[in-house]
């Protein structure tokens, strides 16, 4: 996957929504970069700059769009829009 096609997900292993979104992406076979905010605390500020919020997960798509605490349906709709499914 080229750099401009990478999905980035900012999250933490204690976060139920993060676990759910990771499981969904894994189940769909979607490649993504997972940025663990516990292991990389500085990335929390980066995620906040992207979303304007402190909620996680923050999922950043190749087209520059992002979602904060997305539902499975919202993630799937965005992946379909980007023709990644």
Mind listing the pLDDT tens digit for each residue in 6-52?
Answer: 999 999 999 999 999 999 999 999 999 999 999 999 999 999 999 99
pLDDT, mean of residues 74-82: 97
Query: Is 78 in contact with 71 (CB distance < 8 Å)?
Result: no
Domains of the chain with CATH codes: 3-81 (3.40.30.10)
The structure's pTM equals 0.92
**Predicted pLDDT of residue 57:** 98
Backbone angles phi, psi at 69, to 5 degrees: 50, 50
Q: In sequence order, what DSSP letters do the residues of 30-54 get, joined into one string? A: --EEEEETTT-THHHHHHHHHHSSS
């Amino acid at each position: 996957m080229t750099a401009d096609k990478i999905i980035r997900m900012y999250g933490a292993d204690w976060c139920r929504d993060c676990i759910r979104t990771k499981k969904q992406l894994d189940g769909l076979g979607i490649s993504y970069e997972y940025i663990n905010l516990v292991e990389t605390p500085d990335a929390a500020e980066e995620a906040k700059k992207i979303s304007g919020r402190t909620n996680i997960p923050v999922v950043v798509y190749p087209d520059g769009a992002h979602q904060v605490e997305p539902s499975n349906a919202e993630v799937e709709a965005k992946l379909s829009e980007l023709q990644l499914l």
